[in-house]
């Protein structure tokens, strides 16, 4: 039966080729949009790793001189700031950030405050990579003060978050997420492990730069619900450290008591402004940042979905029209088959079968194209599982679509009377 259908399809190869190309293109469009949608849904059900309600973030703009300031000037316009002066200024900025935290902590609504470098849903990203034992690990990173875990509700599963215990440490304490712990230390307890950057040709690592895992958190998907899980590393941010050369954190995170009204923000910002009149503050409730971040994730998908929906409607209409015309052109052939004893069901099956066969060929080619993406790991964040689900959905949709398009013309064809059809022979 299939071989017979194949021959029928082959006999009209030119026009069938065009139809197959159309089905192929629709299949690719459907898979592309479907993969993004499945990717989002798949990510959405994974743990986020932090709390959103009752949290405010405040971004600090310090209006200070950066590292691109010209320090050596021939015209003597400004005295070149010395390295020592720059360090003093950094120190002063760190002290001021600490003072801001204290100012906020005094407010009755505030439960806890902390400093951080990369807050949830912010546009800022900090990614890094490290080579350990011949393997390269990519991770997202952030830094936080000792209170950050409490403020953001980070879930520490092993070890602990940063505390003053780390003050005297001769290494850099870090907290990593489950995913990185599993990848880096399979089967071992990650807490207490050292992480050394080992490059070929490197001498012994600088002890003060060695990282040591003090705790493991479930996750911290900074970009939000639709983002893929990634490896993550938290560094410790210290504000009162005489020796440190580090820049201070540029974000404050505030956890308020449940039921705090929105006007808290105005009072908090007023306090901050009077404590640091030269700085600028951008306060945002985390639920609001979440809403705008998620909208930014969804808007392109929504636009693509609407466009492809219209594309598919167009293809469906076009395809049923073309198939209908084909049926009217094949009246004589169908009449002959009816006269030779084929039943209505037989005819219908043949016509729908031809289209199904065509769809199978087109989607097979489409599959060969689409499968390159997971095989070549073009988008490494998208797992083969996501591709699999989206391909399954696309197959189901495209076969349903073409079957529906073939059904109406096939019904029409099957009611052709042999006598009418063969009248002109």
Partner 1 sequence: MLLSYLKLAWRVLWRRPFFTVISLFGICFTLVVLMVATAVLDHVFAPIAPEVRQDRTLGIYRARMTGDRMQTSSMPGYLLLDRYARHLPGVERMAIFSMPRMAYSYQQGSRIRSLIKLTDAEYWRVLDFTFVEGGPYTDQDVAGGTMVAVINETTRDRFFGGAPAVGRTIEADGQRFRVIGVVPDVPILRLVANGDIYAPLTTAKTDAYRRELLGGFGGLLLARSQADFPAIKAELETRIRAAELPGRQWKTLTAPAESFFEFVAGSLFGGRDEPRAHPERLWALLAAAGFLFSLLPAVNLVNLNMSRIMERASEIGVRKAFGASSHSLVGQFILENLVLSLVGGAAGFALSAVVLRALNGSGLIPYAHFTINGRVFLYGLGLAVFFGLLSGVYPAWRMSQLHPVQALKGGVR
For binding to partner 1 (CB under 8 A), which residues are involved?
Answer: 11-12, 14-15, 18-19, 21-22, 25-26, 29, 61, 63-74, 78, 262-263, 265-266, 269-270, 273, 277-283, 299, 307, 310-311, 313-315, 317-319, 321-322, 325-326, 328-329
**Token pair 């820049």: residue:** 247
Q: What is the CA radius of gyration of the chain?
A: 32
Residue 251 bridge partners (DSSP): 59, 116
Instruction: Work out how close the CB of 367 gets to partner 1 at its nearest, in angstroms, rounded to a whole number.
Output: 18
Instruction: Work out how close the CB of 58 gets to partner 1 at its nearest, in angstroms, rounded to a whole number.
Output: 10
Instruction: Work out how close the CB of 61 gets to partner 1 at its nearest, in angstroms, rounded to a whole number.
Output: 7
Instruction: Work out how close the CB of 102 gets to partner 1 at its nearest, in angstroms, rounded to a whole number.
Output: 20
* Nearest to partner 1 of 266, 375 (CB atom): 266
Instruction: Work out how close the CB of 408 gets to partner 1 at its nearest, in angstroms, rounded to a whole number.
Output: 12
**Token pair 């492809």: residue:** 308
Query: Is 260 in a helix, a strand, or coil?
Result: coil
* Nearest to partner 1 of 21, 371 (CB atom): 21
The span from the CA of 345 to the CA of 331, in Å, is 16
* Nearest to partner 1 of 25, 191 (CB atom): 25
Residue 272 tokens read as: 């901050």
Other beta carbons within 10 angstroms of residue 258's beta carbon come to 9
The span from the CA of 300 to the CA of 326, in Å, is 38
* Nearest to partner 1 of 11, 203 (CB atom): 11
Q: At what angle do helices 13-44 and 286-329 cross, to 10 degrees?
A: 160
Q: Where are the beta strands (DSSP E) in 191-291?
A: 194-195, 211-217, 232-236, 251-256, 280-285
Nearest to 328 by CA among 402, 392, 416, 211: 416
Instruction: Work out how close the CB of 86 gets to partner 1 at its nearest, in angstroms, rounded to a whole number.
Output: 12
Instruction: Work out how close the CB of 229 gets to partner 1 at its nearest, in angstroms, rounded to a whole number.
Output: 29
Query: Is 247 in a helix, a strand, or coil?
Result: coil
Instruction: Work out how close the CB of 188 gets to partner 1 at its nearest, in angstroms, rounded to a whole number.
Output: 34
Query: What does residue 262 show for φ and ψ, rounded to 5 degrees?
Result: -65, -20
The span from the CA of 64 to the CA of 279, in Å, is 9
| Dihedral (CA of 239, 240, 246, 247) sign | positive
* Nearest to partner 1 of 158, 411 (CB atom): 411
**Token pair 């209908």: residue:** 324
Q: Output the CA–CA distances (angstroms, integers) from residue 391 to 41, 203, 228, in the order listed.
A: 15, 49, 19
* Nearest to partner 1 of 299, 371 (CB atom): 299
* Nearest to partner 1 of 312, 357 (CB atom): 312
CB contact set of 232 (below 8 Å; sequence gap of 6+): 139, 140, 141, 142, 176, 177, 179, 180, 217, 219, 220, 222
**Token pair 């636009």: residue:** 303
* Nearest to partner 1 of 13, 257 (CB atom): 13
Instruction: Work out how close the CB of 48 gets to partner 1 at its nearest, in angstroms, rounded to a whole number.
Output: 25
* Nearest to partner 1 of 73, 346 (CB atom): 73
Instruction: Work out how close the CB of 354 gets to partner 1 at its nearest, in angstroms, rounded to a whole number.
Output: 14
* Nearest to partner 1 of 61, 183 (CB atom): 61
């Amino acid at each position: 039966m299939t071989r017979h259908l194949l021959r029928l399809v082959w006999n009209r190869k030119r026009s069938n080729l065009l139809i197959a190309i159309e089905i192929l293109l629709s299949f690719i469009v459907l898979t592309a949009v479907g993969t993004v949608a499945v990717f989002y849904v798949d990510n959405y059900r994974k743990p986020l790793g932090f709390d959103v309600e009752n949290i405010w973030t405040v971004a600090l703009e310090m209006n200070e001189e950066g590292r691109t300031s010209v320090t050596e000037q021939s015209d003597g316009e400004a005295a070149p700031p010395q390295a020592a002066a720059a360090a003093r200024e950094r120190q002063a900025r760190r002290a001021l950030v600490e003072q801001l935290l204290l100012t906020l902590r005094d407010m009755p609504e505030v439960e806890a405050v902390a400093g951080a470098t990369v807050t949830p849903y912010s546009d800022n990203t900090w990614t890094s990579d490290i080579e350990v034992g011949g393997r390269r690990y990519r991770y997202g990173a952030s830094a936080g003060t000792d209170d950050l875990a409490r403020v953001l509700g980070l879930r520490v599963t092993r070890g602990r978050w940063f505390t003053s215990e780390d003050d005297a440490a001769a290494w850099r304490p870090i907290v990593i997420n489950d995913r990185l712990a599993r990848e880096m230390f399979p089967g071992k307890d990650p807490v207490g492990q050292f992480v050394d950057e080992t490059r070929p040709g490197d001498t012994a690592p600088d002890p003060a730069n060695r990282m040591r895992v003090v705790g493991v958190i479930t996750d911290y998907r900074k970009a939000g619900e639709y983002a893929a899980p990634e490896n993550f590393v938290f560094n410790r941010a210290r504000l009162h450290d005489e020796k440190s050369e580090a820049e201070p954190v540029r974000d404050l995170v505030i956890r308020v008591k449940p039921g705090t009204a929105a006007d808290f923000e105005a009072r908090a910002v007023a306090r901050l402004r009077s404590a640091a009149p030269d700085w600028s503050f951008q306060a945002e409730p985390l639920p609001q940042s979440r809403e705008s971040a998620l909208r930014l994730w969804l808007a392109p998908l929504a636009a693509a979905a609407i466009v492809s929906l219209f594309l598919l409607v167009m293809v469906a209409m076009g395809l049923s029209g073309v198939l209908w015309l084909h049926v009217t052109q094949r009246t004589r052939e169908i009449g002959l088959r009816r006269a030779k004893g084929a039943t209505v069901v037989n005819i219908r099956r043949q016509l729908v079968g031809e289209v199904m066969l065509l769809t199978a060929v087109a989607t097979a080619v489409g599959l060969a194209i689409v499968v390159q993406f997971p095989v070549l790991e073009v988008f490494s964040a998208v797992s083969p599982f996501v591709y699999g689900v989206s391909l399954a959905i696309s197959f189901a949709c495209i076969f349903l679509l073409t079957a529906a398009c073939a059904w109406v013309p096939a019904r029409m064809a099957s009611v052709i009377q042999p006598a009418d059809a063969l009248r002109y022979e």
